[in-house]
Structure 1
């Protein structure tokens, strides 16, 4: 099956320094009156800046979800003072376990005065856990929190998203699930044979092995050492970020043609937030300085949420390209290496960066078939199947 070419974004001039408030102001009718849920909200993070941008254009209700009720309430109170025209509700959501995701979904589904959710932004995440750790479900913590928790929570509240898509006048693609990923998705594919990073990298199937050159350059470690190693924190994080984008493809496969629900992934940029809280502070500082000296551009919170807003509301974005790959080896290539004469490649349009469709993405996280494989693995991990 070959889908038609994905359109570009509405505003080609948006880029690395564009703010979320600027993006929101460009699409007021896509935001006004909407009910929007954002995970991972605290006043110092990207979730807060995302909520601020939606509130600036008169979203009807913003549901702020996260682990710590006090931080959620602080965010809600701060936003309510600045944007009295928008209502705010908080939802305690602990994505680190399936128990936490199920509890939050049950609470939300019990809000009978809230029949529909127009946009879901899966923004929460963890990073840089220094050693291999498993959660209470026996799953590596990056993967458990960043992917499995969101996969389960999203599917359990799907009735409210479908209800939004079925409202009179709802345009196709207006109801969206946005998965905040990272350029870290380029580091590692999904290790279906070793989700928990227990085996030496060089011993697992070649198609599941990480990008050794990228790791070597980033960490300053010889590639042979990495091949003989098992757990790599940035690799485990990268696997979870690959999963975020593939989750979008799995959602599109089930929901776009039937209900008009669109799902996209994105890289917000490099932003100094609390994401590095599990690392030794001095190691985190040294690594950040190294990246800056290497030319990495760092954004502030407002710039770091602009791509989330583009993914959530730009009407020019539509179903990603679907076309078969020639071989499994193509999964390790970049999208630009597989462009057809029409400029399209497998999964083009599912991943954005700096407010535009991103071309330098490994096909292992833009492949529709990989999205299906991950969906099946995720259902296995949560012990439940989801069909729509």
Structure 2
């Protein structure tokens, strides 16, 4: 398959997600599995693949909660879903993953709501942005893509653990993790910053977090944890790429558009992991195109995963 700056382009096949194996949602064109009444929380569910995931699951009867930084955008997204599916049960919670105070407020609202979530999807993210910092001074891509989700998931984890039903935690990563490296001597990239290396590192952190969380769950916990590469998708995630002024970026963007998926297609693996009976009880795995795949060698390093967990716990003051 072609490569662009380390990305393996996602090419759906007839045997993948887009080849319907169950009833297919007309609204999204992707496979959605019929479910009993369930509840799902999706970070960044107001746009891109998060929105398409929310819409497709709402169509199948899931109660959908989205975490979104912008209340207006959240309201508009939910209104569009409600217009398409009038019986959908929807709500939103303010969430800014770049600010741990907002993350804690979101977790508190979730816990206070009393909703028992069957599915928790850490979907939101940023990509290839210039050197920036979160509210707590963390490098922005690591802070938003990894640390924010790490803190949020750990704060709601006790409620997920005490749920009286199976729970699925799903982390949206990327094939870009393959060129990511965790340098504990320069975790915030203060010495040298490269936007793509930072993105790859944050996606590697997503996978390391998924695998380590799976190892740390108690034997009696009825929770599965999986992660995925959604493909190269036409979403707002590429807004910083479009702003780059390097000579090769227009060429790269033009090439990538030939292979990019529509957001509804990019949501297919998230929907599959959230609702398919085929993955019931499957945990600690990486998925591409609704199939189990092998992540990078670095992602399976237990020592790196453990140390990243401990440092993330210290930085975020997570439980």
Q: TM-score range by the shorter chain?
A: 0.7 to 0.9
Aligned to 1:209: none
1:55 aligns with 2:44: no
1:356 aligns with 2:291: yes
Counting only pairs closer than 5 Å after superposition, residues 175-190 of structure 1 correspond to structure 2 as 175-190=167-182
The answer for unaligned runs of 5 or more in structure 2 is 1-12
Aligned to 1:124: 124
Aligned to 1:135: 134
Corresponding residue to 1:367 among 288, 301, 312 = 301
Shift of 1:267: 0.7
Instruction: Please report the RMSD computed on the Cα atoms of aligned residues, expressed in angstroms.
Output: 2.6
Counting only pairs closer than 5 Å after superposition, residues 101-116 of structure 1 correspond to structure 2 as 101-112=103-114, 114=115, 116=116
| Mapped contact 2:29–2:264 kept (Cα < 8 A) | no
| Mapped contact 1:181–1:244 kept (Cα < 8 A) | yes
| 296-305 vs 117-126, which moves further | 296-305
1:113-149 Cα offsets, whole Å, 9 max, x none, are x2x111011100011212x222221210000011101
Counting only pairs closer than 5 Å after superposition, residues 38-49 of structure 1 correspond to structure 2 as 38-43=42-47, 45-49=48-52
| Mapped contact 2:44–2:123 kept (Cα < 8 A) | yes
The answer for unaligned runs of 5 or more in structure 1 is 1-10, 200-229, 321-348
Q: 2: distance between equivalents of 1:247 and 1:189?
A: 14
Aligned length in residues = 301
| Mapped contact 1:12–1:356 kept (Cα < 8 A) | no
| Mapped contact 2:30–2:264 kept (Cα < 8 A) | no
Shift of 1:194: 0.9
Larger radius of gyration: 1
| Mapped contact 2:17–2:31 kept (Cα < 8 A) | no
Distance 1:275 1:259, change over 3 A: same
Counting only pairs closer than 5 Å after superposition, residues 21-40 of structure 1 correspond to structure 2 as 21=28, 24-25=31-32, 27-29=33-35, 32-40=36-44
Q: 2: distance between equivalents of 1:54 and 1:285?
A: 41
Q: 1: distance between equivalents of 2:303 and 2:276?
A: 26
Shift of 1:295: 9.3
Q: 2: distance between equivalents of 1:269 and 1:84?
A: 30
Counting only pairs closer than 5 Å after superposition, residues 239-318 of structure 1 correspond to structure 2 as 239-255=201-217, 257-279=219-241, 281=243, 283=245, 287=249, 289-290=251-252, 293=255, 297-317=259-279, 318=281
Aligned to 1:233: 195
| Mapped contact 1:24–1:54 kept (Cα < 8 A) | no
Distance 1:274 1:293, change over 3 A: closer
Counting only pairs closer than 5 Å after superposition, residues 130-209 of structure 1 correspond to structure 2 as 130=130, 132-164=131-163, 167=164, 170=165, 174-199=166-191
Give secondary structure in 1 for the equivalent of 2:185: coil
Give secondary structure in 1 for the equivalent of 2:187: coil
The runs of 4+ residues in structure 1 deviating greater than 4 Å are: 15-24, 282-286
Aligned to 1:69: 71
TM-score, structure 2 normalization: 0.85
Distance 1:35 1:294, change over 3 A: closer
Shift of 1:286: 6.2
1:275-334 Cα offsets, whole Å, 9 max, x none, are 1223453649963642553797210011100011222233433455xxxxxxxxxxxxxx
Aligned to 1:226: none
Give secondary structure in 2 for the equivalent of 1:149: helix
Counting only pairs closer than 5 Å after superposition, residues 74-113 of structure 1 correspond to structure 2 as 74-112=76-114
Q: 2: distance between equivalents of 1:66 and 1:144?
A: 16
| Mapped contact 2:176–2:199 kept (Cα < 8 A) | yes
Distance 1:288 1:109, change over 3 A: farther
TM-score, structure 1 normalization: 0.71
Shift of 1:257: 2.7
Q: 2: distance between equivalents of 1:184 and 1:379?
A: 24
Q: 2: distance between equivalents of 1:257 and 1:372?
A: 18
Distance 1:111 1:284, change over 3 A: farther
